[in-house]
């Protein structure tokens, strides 16, 4: 008996020491300029998880810097965080072009990078790295789900549209991976375009039975408002980025009823999510976005790994991260062989909640347990 | 039918650009000042309209507020900063007005937060009309075309038919001489600057209603407005009008027709990406061609 209690005491002490190992996290995200809303949700979601963890987070310190949505600034910040702040983990980048500028160099210097949002295909495939984890998704995922949702809805002739840059081309590729019907039209718009009269005229003329579009940020707000005022009634479908909580209030009622796809929604029914959404509203006075949810999960993943292993023991810490032993707000969550998520992707619909605030509610599952299309190109 | 609609779209887009470029070309032509912060005045107009429309429920009060707010911001800017820049070279002007962009952007974020604001059209401007021939076209886009033409007419009258216009044109030609003739040139400059600012604010309020009202919304428009000013000839209102319509048409028709034309000679997928890239270049190619042909722009003064 004595032996048993001594052993358990020793185990508790050892667990305690693992807990006590300090972890320094460098958060690089966008806090100024037009994309600042996304970065603020990322930062706030991450901070909230640490706050709710209480003592368990006492050894975790976070340094946060604004990348201004510029790749060169992000690279400078990353260098400074690695060389003079001595961070163990980097995280927080919203945009894929910034991630491509920062991640390869950071992981080569032995740092961990945990993505709260950007999931470019290169980092999921040929350039995958043992120190790189995407906690959010692979970029194609939401578009693939939209393709499946279009199939499930019985659409046979879809008009598809995205901005002419890598993430836009990936979006259309991802959509077409699951949607196998006819295309009524396929157009690339300009990045930062604000007027969509020409595209709407083409949609009207095409005879499409649905429109798939990926237009993140202000581009989506402009398009949805102009589409609603154009008299064209072809249903819209798209990834969650144009219907996320950061843009919905600006779009207004024009967004009501539009189907969109994501790995998460505020009403997703699991205990971790109820706790997260309540606490976020309490703390910040707004409904969280998918960016906040992904950042919240990232912080909890770090906490779960720090409880099991010392971050200075990279191999043990990496193993602990791979286990993904935390309660995700997205429900089922595991890592695939390329350290990208395997998760369910949902169809959501824009509705008004009891307070009259626009938000999303889940109306169905698009794809269950989706990994990504690039895992087999990753040799790790 | 489709091509006719695309022509209308080009005209409407041109009018939007004209609203932006008219103020810019006035300031550029009369004062010889490169004002990068013109886009910030456009943003101020949109924010003022969104805030007042949300508080009062009236879009038209919002438009009035956007004119007032942008004109006031413009006058203040001229008195505090721009006034010191007339005698400096263009590089100093670019640096100082770029600093103003940063100050206005972060100031707006500080006041209104990082998330885009809600601004929508009043019922009288939303919806569609059916044109002769059965073309369905949004009321708002019509209103922009009409307003653009009205403002162009108003500016012509101001420049040709009023005392203020005579002074502005005289100031453009020889600022020392009209000072010697007893015109208070610094007051004249403040008025011109505030007028240009008010036009930018009006554009922001109107265009903001069908776009995203957010920090940084002015910069993409500013670049195109500069293209319009340069093609039209610096300081020429008429030039700005012609060039804005030209740029609007090139952009709209390029986007609509290029992918289809390229698809005749190459696979559809390649034509789509290449067509889109060429369409986004088309405006700048137009600018280059015009400048080779007429280095001072279509209506610019010959050197």
pLDDT at B169: 84
pLDDT at A10 over 70: no
Q: How many residues does chain B have?
A: 303
Chain segment B150-196, per-residue pLDDT in tens = 999 999 999 888 998 888 888 878 878 888 888 888 888 899 899 99
Element (H, E) at B38: helix B38-56
Pair (A254, A372) in one structural domain: yes
The verdict on a CB contact (< 8 Å) between A218 and B12 is no
Q: For residue B50, what are its two tokens?
A: 């969104």
Q: Cα separation of B4 and B6, whole Å?
A: 5
How distant is the Cα of A38 from the closest Cα of chain B, in angstroms? 9
- ipTM score: 0.84
Report yes or no: A202 and B256 within 8 Å, Cβ to Cβ: yes
Count CB atoms within 10 A of the CB of residue A240: 23
pLDDT at B87: 83
The verdict on a CB contact (< 8 Å) between A225 and B120 is yes
pLDDT at B32: 80
Does some domain include residue A228?
yes
Q: What is the mean pLDDT of chain A?
A: 91
Pair (A98, A19) in one structural domain: yes
* Cα of A274 vs its chain's centroid, Å: 19
B114: chain A residues, CB-CB within 8 Å: 31, 36-37, 39-40
B9: chain A residues, CB-CB within 8 Å: 195, 197-198, 201
Pair (A322, A173) in one structural domain: no
Report yes or no: A103 and A95 within 8 Å, Cβ to Cβ: no
pTM: 0.86
Does some domain include residue A340?
no
Pair (A159, A219) in one structural domain: yes
Does some domain include residue A174?
yes
Pair (A44, A94) in one structural domain: yes
Element (H, E) at A365: strand A358-370
State whether residue B136 is helix, strand or coil: strand
Chain segment A293-311, per-residue pLDDT in tens = 999 999 999 999 999 999 9
Does some domain include residue A19?
yes
B268: chain A residues, CB-CB within 8 Å: 186
Pair (A24, A130) in one structural domain: yes
pLDDT at B174: 82
Number of domains in chain A: 2
Pair (A127, A146) in one structural domain: no
Pair (A28, A77) in one structural domain: yes
Does some domain include residue A212?
yes
DSSP string, A112-157: EEEESS---HHHHTTT--TTEEESS--TTHHHHHHHHHHHHTT--E
Q: Which of A339, A359, A357, A335 is nearest to A348 (CA)?
A: A359
State whether residue A23 is helix, strand or coil: strand
Residue A85, domain extent: 2-137+267-335
Q: Cα separation of B191 and B212, whole Å?
A: 30
Q: For residue B248, what are its two tokens?
A: 């609007």
Pair (A249, A276) in one structural domain: no
Strands (E) located in A190-258: 210-213, 236-239
Pair (A20, A152) in one structural domain: no
A120: domain CATH number is 3.40.50.2300
Pair (A234, A365) in one structural domain: yes
DSSP A242: G
Pair (A240, A370) in one structural domain: yes
Answer whether B168 touches A (CB < 8 Å): no
Q: How far is CA B182 from CA A120, B167, B178, in A?
A: 65, 11, 7
pLDDT at A9: 52
B275: chain A residues, CB-CB within 8 Å: 188
């Amino acid at each position: 008996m004595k032996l048993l209690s001594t052993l358990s005491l020793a185990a508790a002490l050892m667990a305690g020491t693992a807990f006590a190992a300090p972890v320094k996290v460098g958060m690089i995200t966008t806090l100024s300029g037009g994309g600042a809303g996304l970065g603020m949700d990322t930062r706030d979601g991450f901070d909230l998880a640490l706050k709710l963890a209480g003592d368990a987070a006492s050894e975790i310190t976070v340094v946060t810097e604004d990348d201004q949505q510029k790749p060169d600034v992000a690279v400078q910040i990353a260098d400074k965080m690695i060389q003079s702040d001595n961070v163990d983990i980097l995280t927080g980048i919203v945009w894929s072009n910034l991630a491509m500028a920062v991640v390869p160099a950071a992981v080569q210097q032995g740092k961990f990078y945990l993505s709260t949002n950007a999931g470019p295909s290169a980092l999921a495939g040929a350039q995958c790295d043992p120190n790189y984890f995407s906690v959010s998704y692979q970029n194609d995922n939401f578009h693939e789900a939209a393709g499946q949702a279009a199939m499930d809805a019985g659409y046979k002739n879809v008009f598809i549209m995205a901005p002419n840059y890598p993430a836009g081309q990936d979006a259309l590729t991802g959509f077409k991976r699951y949607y196998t019907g006819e295309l009524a039209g396929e157009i690339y718009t300009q990045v930062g375009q604000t007027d969509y009269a020409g595209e709407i005229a083409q949609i009207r003329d095409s005879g499409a039975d649905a429109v798939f579009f990926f237009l993140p940020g202000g581009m989506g707000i402009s398009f949805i408002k102009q589409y609603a005022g154009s008299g064209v009634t072809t249903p819209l479908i798209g990834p969650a980025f144009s219907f996320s909580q950061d843009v919905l209030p600006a779009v207004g009622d024009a967004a009501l009823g539009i189907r969109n796809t994501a790995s998460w929604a505020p009403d997703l029914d699991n205990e971790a999510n109820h706790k997260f959404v309540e606490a976020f509203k309490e703390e910040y006075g707004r409904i969280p976005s998918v960016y906040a949810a992904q950042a919240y999960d990232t912080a909890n993943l770090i906490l779960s790994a720090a409880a099991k292993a010392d971050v200075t023991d990279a191999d043990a810490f990496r193993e602990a991260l791979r286990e993904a032993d935390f309660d995700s707000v997205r429900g089922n969550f595991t890592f695939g062989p390329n350290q990208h998520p395997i998760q369910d992707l949902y169809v959501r619909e824009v509705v008004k909640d009891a307070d009259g605030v626009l938000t999303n509610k889940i109306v169905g599952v698009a794809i269950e347990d989706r990994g990504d299309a690039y895992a087999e190109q990753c040799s790790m | 039918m489709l091509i006719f609609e695309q022509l209308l779209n080009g005209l409407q887009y041109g009018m939007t650009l004209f609203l932006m470029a008219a103020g810019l070309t006035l300031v550029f032509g009369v004062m010889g000042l490169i004002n990068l912060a013109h886009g910030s005045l456009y943003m101020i107009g949109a924010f003022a309209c969104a805030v007042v429309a949300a508080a009062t429920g009236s879009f038209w009060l919002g438009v009035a507020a956007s004119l007032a707010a942008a004109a006031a911001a413009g006058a203040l800017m001229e008195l505090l900063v721009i006034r010191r820049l007339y005698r400096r070279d263009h590089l100093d002007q670019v640096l100082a007005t770029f600093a103003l962009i940063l100050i206005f952007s972060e100031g707006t974020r500080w006041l209104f937060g990082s998330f885009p604001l809600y601004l929508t059209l009043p019922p009288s401007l939303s919806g569609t009309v059916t044109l002769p021939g059965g073309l369905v076209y949004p009321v708002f886009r019509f209103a922009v075309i009409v307003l653009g033409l009205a403002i162009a007419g108003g500016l012509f009258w101001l420049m040709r038919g009023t005392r203020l216009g005579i002074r502005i044109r005289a100031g453009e030609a020889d600022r020392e001489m009209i000072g010697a003739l007893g015109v208070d040139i610094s007051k004249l400059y403040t008025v011109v600057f505030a007028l240009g600012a008010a036009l930018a604010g009006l554009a922001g309020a109107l265009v903001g209603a069908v776009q995203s009202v957010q920090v940084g919304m002015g910069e993409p428009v500013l670049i195109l407005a500069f293209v319009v000013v340069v093609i039209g000839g610096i300081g020429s209102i008429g030039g700005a009008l012609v060039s804005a319509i030209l740029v609007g048409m090139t952009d709209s028709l390029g986007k609509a027709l290029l992918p289809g034309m390229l698809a005749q000679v190459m696979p559809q997928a390649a034509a789509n990406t290449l067509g889109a890239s060429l369409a986004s270049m088309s405006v700048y190619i137009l600018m280059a061609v015009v400048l080779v042909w007429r280095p001072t722009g279509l209506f610019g003064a010959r050197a």
